[in-house]
Copies of this chain bind each other. A is one copy, B any other.
């Protein structure tokens, strides 16, 4: 065993709804034990089957506002009537013990993370395989009207327009293939020189 350690990284997966991102995130967490899902704080009520600390940290609006004021969020956003945010401390602690954190956030959250932690961030944009497949997935959520689907498509198009802001772009035309690419990105980025700690000392021992 070498004495080289590494600082953890923050892996962001972004995509429009209907690109299969949630499945890819779950697969990644299942196949690699050194990466954990980021847990957001939210002001919305807990739903059945949700677990405090696993799905979300459920906090009051007052607590959330205090956390914003104290700068405790890496990113936060207002979505419909509720607030969502990523508390910094838990992420920082995870990175410092050499583990990675997975984020399932949109382009706006990614921009905020970049401002706070550019060197630790690795961002991946997941694209659906085709227009037809995207529409099919946006529709299959329920028996939706064309109008509802058109609105979702417009929202997807807006999210997709931000692909040039990401480090990596993958097309989810096959879930095994897309999973393999994301896992490769994770493994590769762990070996990036700038993330390694103690190489100088290790090399000094090698060539003593």
| B-binding residues in A (CB < 8 A) | 1-2, 4, 124-125, 127-131, 134, 153, 156-157, 160-161, 163-164, 166-171, 173, 180-181, 183-185, 187-189, 191-193, 196, 199, 202-203, 205-208
Question: B187 to A170, Cβ gap below 8 A?
Answer: no
Question: B2 to A193, Cβ gap below 8 A?
Answer: no
Question: B196 to A157, Cβ gap below 8 A?
Answer: no
Question: A199 to B156, Cβ gap below 8 A?
Answer: no
Q: Given A184-B187, A187-B188, A188-B184, answer yes or no on A131-B207 (Cβ-Cβ < 8 Å).
A: yes
Q: Given A153-B207, A163-B199, A206-B127, answer yes or no on A189-B188 (Cβ-Cβ < 8 Å).
A: yes
Can you list 14 residue pairs at the A/B interface with Cβ under 8 Å?
A: A1-B173, A2-B127, A124-B191, A131-B207, A157-B206, A164-B193, A166-B193, A168-B192, A169-B193, A169-B199, A181-B187, A181-B188, A184-B187, A185-B188
